[in-house]
Amino acid sequence: MNSSDSLWRNRAFTRLWVAHITSGAGTAITNVALPLAAVLVLGATPSEMGLLAAAASLPNLLFGLIAGVWVDRVRRKPILVWADIGRALLLLSIPAAAFLGQLSFLHLWTVAFAVGTFTVFFQIGAISVLPALVEKRDLVEANSKLSTSDAVISIVGPAAGGGLVQLFSAPKAILIDAVSYLLSALALSGVAEQGPQQAAQPDSQGPDGPASGFRLAAISFGREVGEGVYELLRTPLLRALTITSSLGMLAGSLAGAVQMLFLVDQLSFTPSVIGIVAACSGAGSLLGAMLAGRAARILQAGNTLVVGKLLWIAGALLLASADLIGYELVAAGVSQALVGLGSTLYFVNQISLRQAITSVRLLGRVTAARRFVLFGVATGGALIGGALGEAIGLRATLLVGAAALTLELALLYFSRVRRARIE
Query: Residues 226-276: pLDDT tens digits?
Result: 888 888 888 888 998 999 999 998 999 999 889 989 999 999 998 889 888
Among the residue ranges 17-21, 149-153, 299-303, the one predicted with the least confidence is 149-153
CB 9 within 8 Å of CB 17: no
CA distance 82 to 74: 13
With residue 304 as reference, give the H or E element that holds it. helix 301-320
Give, in order, the Cα–Cα distances in Å from 366 to each of 58, 348, 357, 361: 19, 18, 11, 10
CA distance 366 to 242: 11
Q: What is the pLDDT of residues 115-136, one digit of tens each?
A: 888 888 887 777 777 777 777 7
Q: What is the pLDDT of residues 395-420, one digit of tens each?
A: 999 999 999 999 999 999 998 888 88
pTM above 0.85, yes or no: no
Among the residue ranges 80-84, 206-210, 269-273, the one predicted with the least confidence is 206-210
| Across 9-16, average pLDDT | 79
Other C-beta atoms closer than 10 Å to the C-beta of 78 total 12
CA distance 371 to 245: 10
DSSP for 329-346 reads HHHHHHHHHHHHHHHHHH
CA angle at 62 for the pair 56 and 63, rounded to the nearest 5°? 95
Is the pLDDT at 204 greater than 60, yes or no? no
CA distance 130 to 109: 31
pLDDT score, position 190: 66
Q: What is the pLDDT of residues 281-319, one digit of tens each?
A: 888 988 888 888 888 888 888 899 999 999 999 999 999
Residue 318, CB-side half-sphere exposure with 13 Å CA sphere:
20
Q: At what angle do helices 139-168 and 170-188 cross, to 10 degrees?
A: 150
Q: What is the pLDDT of residues 173-201, one digit of tens each?
A: 888 888 888 888 888 876 665 544 444 44
pLDDT score, position 297: 84
Q: Average pLDDT of the chain?
A: 83
CA distance 36 to 271: 8
Nearest CA to 20 out of 154, 193, 131, 161 is that of: 154
Nearest CA to 231 out of 417, 99, 388, 361 is that of: 361
CB 340 within 8 Å of CB 288: yes
Q: Which domains does the chain have, with CATH numbers?
A: 1-191 (1.20.1250.20), 218-422 (1.20.1250.20)
pLDDT score, position 197: 45
pLDDT score, position 192: 61
CA distance 174 to 170: 7
pLDDT score, position 205: 47
Other C-beta atoms closer than 10 Å to the C-beta of 75 total 14
Give, in order, the Cα–Cα distances in Å from 250 to each of 149, 316, 379, 402: 26, 13, 9, 10
CB 306 within 8 Å of CB 409: yes
Is the pLDDT at 206 greater than 50, yes or no? no
For the chain, helix (H) and strand (E) counts, in that order, are 15, 2
State in Å, rounded, how far the first CA of the chain is from the last one: 20
CB 367 within 8 Å of CB 245: no
Other C-beta atoms closer than 10 Å to the C-beta of 76 total 28
The DSSP symbol for 210 reads E
Residue 197, CB-side half-sphere exposure with 13 Å CA sphere:
11
Of the pLDDT bands very low, low, confident and very high (cuts 50, 70, 90), residue 144 is: confident
CA distance 386 to 54: 10
Among the residue ranges 87-91, 155-159, 180-184, 295-299, the one predicted with the least confidence is 155-159
CB 29 within 8 Å of CB 369: no
| Across 323-336, average pLDDT | 92
CB 283 within 8 Å of CB 414: no
CB-based burial, 268-303: b 16+ in 10 Å, e otherwise: ebebbbbbbbbbbbbbbbbbbbebbbebbeebbbbb
Nearest CA to 264 out of 316, 323, 317 is that of: 323
**Share of residues in the chain with pLDDT > 90 (%):** 24
- Residues 6 or more apart whose CB falls under 8 angstroms from that of 109 comprise 51, 52, 55
pLDDT score, position 5: 61
More confident residue, 423 or 347: 347
Q: What does residue 206 show for φ and ψ, rounded to 5 degrees?
A: -85, 180
| Across 12-26, average pLDDT | 80
